[in-house]
Structure 1
């Protein structure tokens, strides 16, 4: 029986950053990719051929994180210069800037309704702001080291944060209390995020592993010791069935969460792969690395059209059986 799976393919490479790419995000309509770099610039790339890229200059130091708003009308960027900027991703490249923290801002993230922003910093705090007028709302202060990453749950009720204090913390946004600390004795956590269902979280660790925890039972559900160096970034496929990772071992890896195994290893970047992100529909993903390159990949391995599935989430269980007819893990070499 022929499998529905095909290898991911490299679609385009974007060159223009002058130092390592630190973060990227694909716009909701898939027409643009935003990337941030140690070169202090934010770049907006067009996924359509022959369209020019925009270079946004404003940050005074390395850009650590970029993210499109849910509508795609804004791009938020965080920087080592302690500020957050909100850009309109168009020709003018106008931005509003605010001093968010007293140390490097490591991450910035929108809530799913686009109304609030979440920032985390080397000053050990996590802060919540309004997008409109960037009004400070509150901060969460229990980490005892740099906070690398903070993200809202899909329903906006919870926050997950990852820190160099070797914990991943789960917070209740309403009560502003820490509900649970997942202790990561093997190393620091570079990146954490919620599964699209909101039932579990994944963490990318400096001990070369990826861990998936249940947020209700707090049990470790899956453990993937698949990389040979630090895992820098991860992204869930919108179906919730796959997870992609980027590592300093220069590879991207695609994990099948239903089968609990490695599906693909992708060799694209020269040197560490620093960031990776699926598009909102899951048909493509982008990666960035120390080689200053941004790469756009076509997912291919999942032939289901997720734009329909996302509208009718009930089709999920049906798909689970489709994915069990998976091909063997393969090493996809891209030259």
Structure 2
């Protein structure tokens, strides 16, 4: 699972399909058929008019996400394509591959613009900054690199000798990048000062994916220990541990407005959760956080000059949530699934009495999710 729109979400899978799940009652689900091997990554364009997918079959596809969906194939990579990401304006696409390269594409012209090739091992993920001027990438060469899209050069590099990152992304303001590590860690780097801001080691297994809340104040992580965890970046601490998947959690993404998030796991399930962050007056939440922003320790995301990286470990005040699965289960044939083939192509959870209520599982769907290998 890679992308969540207000009324639908998309998932990718080792079953060679990508799915669009419509969240309205009695609506249909679409299964897009075209890739010949596992689909590793999928994302909606910012306007929702296109869907991009990356596959083990070495190709990238652009789909029109409707019942009359068409697709075009982009070929340039010489090995499995790990990730795909649209620029904020939807004009460009960046892909990362096991051929050790990052490639940037024109969406409208459907052509390769250039390649970035300084990584020395498989590139697991590449993402645009919010303004599109930078690309962040992570590789099994144990580096996270920042690239200038105008000059096509690497302008910064962060090295982690303890392991490599499975996933990387920019925060909503574009000032920091987060990396999800195979060594069980999540790290937040300030790219303006080339400095590690926060370091979380709250999972017991490798972290596969991270998603920023649109406010930039929270991240949610998905890990192979079977849990999702929500960190408050302003307070610098773990606040929730979510249980629901039976096995590794491979992907997670907030919706555009942040009111929901979806997770996908090796248990073939796609789960949809209510965030519930907006249950209280937003000004009161911000006022609460501002009191913490100017304390002496630990350094926080909004500190202008944090003195040193601050490690964060599991704390007893974090809340564990195990849903009772009293949710809609779409393993059944309702709603119907419509196959869209390449032939039509063109080239009751507990409540929290604190300031922020607990996330709530509201939807369950079955679809084999592709694990990062």
Rounded to whole Å, the distance in 2 between the matches of 1:319 and 1:138 is 44
The one of 24, 30, 40 aligned to 1:48: 24
Shift of 1:100: 3.3
C-alpha contact (below 8 Å) 1:245/1:253 kept by paired residues:
yes
Rounded to whole Å, the distance in 2 between the matches of 1:194 and 1:188 is 17
TM-score by length of 2: 0.78
Match of 2:286 in 1: 320
Rounded to whole Å, the distance in 2 between the matches of 1:49 and 1:288 is 21
Match of 1:114 in 2: 90
Rounded to whole Å, the distance in 2 between the matches of 1:160 and 1:231 is 18
The 1:324/1:249 distance shift into structure 2, 3 A limit, reads: farther
Alignment of 1:194-205 (within 5 A): 194-205=170-181
Residue 193 in structure 1 maps to residue 193 in structure 2: no
Q: Classify the secondary structure of the residue corresponding to 1:101.
A: coil
Rounded to whole Å, the distance in 2 between the matches of 1:169 and 1:301 is 32
The 1:135/1:305 distance shift into structure 2, 3 A limit, reads: farther
TM-score by length of 1: 0.87
The one of 16, 39, 44 aligned to 2:15: 39
Rounded to whole Å, the distance in 2 between the matches of 1:165 and 1:320 is 39
Alpha-carbon deviations, 1:44-76, whole Å to 9, x = none?
001112212111110000000000000001110
Q: Classify the secondary structure of the residue corresponding to 1:320.
A: helix
Residue 330 in structure 1 maps to residue 330 in structure 2: no
Shift of 1:31: 1.1
Residue 142 in structure 1 maps to residue 118 in structure 2: yes
C-alpha contact (below 8 Å) 2:74/2:111 kept by paired residues:
no
The one of 41, 52, 59 aligned to 1:76: 52
The one of 149, 153, 157 aligned to 1:181: 157
Alpha-carbon deviations, 1:167-213, whole Å to 9, x = none?
00011111111111100111111000000011100000000010000
Rounded to whole Å, the distance in 1 between the matches of 2:121 and 2:281 is 42
Match of 1:26 in 2: 4
Rounded to whole Å, the distance in 2 between the matches of 1:301 and 1:239 is 10
Match of 1:164 in 2: 140
C-alpha contact (below 8 Å) 2:259/2:277 kept by paired residues:
no
Shift of 1:302: 3.6
Residue 125 in structure 1 maps to residue 114 in structure 2: no
C-alpha contact (below 8 Å) 2:12/2:19 kept by paired residues:
yes
The runs of 5 or more residues in structure 2 that have no matched partner are 293-316, 325-373
CA RMSD of aligned residues (A): 1.8
Rounded to whole Å, the distance in 1 between the matches of 2:276 and 2:285 is 16
The 1:106/1:48 distance shift into structure 2, 3 A limit, reads: same
Rounded to whole Å, the distance in 1 between the matches of 2:13 and 2:255 is 20
Q: Classify the secondary structure of the residue corresponding to 2:277.
A: coil
Q: Classify the secondary structure of the residue corresponding to 1:133.
A: coil
The runs of 5 or more residues in structure 1 that have no matched partner are 1-22, 307-314
Q: Classify the secondary structure of the residue corresponding to 1:223.
A: strand
The 1:181/1:214 distance shift into structure 2, 3 A limit, reads: same
Rounded to whole Å, the distance in 1 between the matches of 2:244 and 2:278 is 20
Shift of 1:301: 3.0
Q: Classify the secondary structure of the residue corresponding to 2:273.
A: strand
Shift of 1:305: 8.2
Alpha-carbon deviations, 1:95-151, whole Å to 9, x = none?
111213000000110000000000110000001010013111111110000000000
Rounded to whole Å, the distance in 1 between the matches of 2:323 and 2:285 is 29
Rounded to whole Å, the distance in 2 between the matches of 1:224 and 1:149 is 20
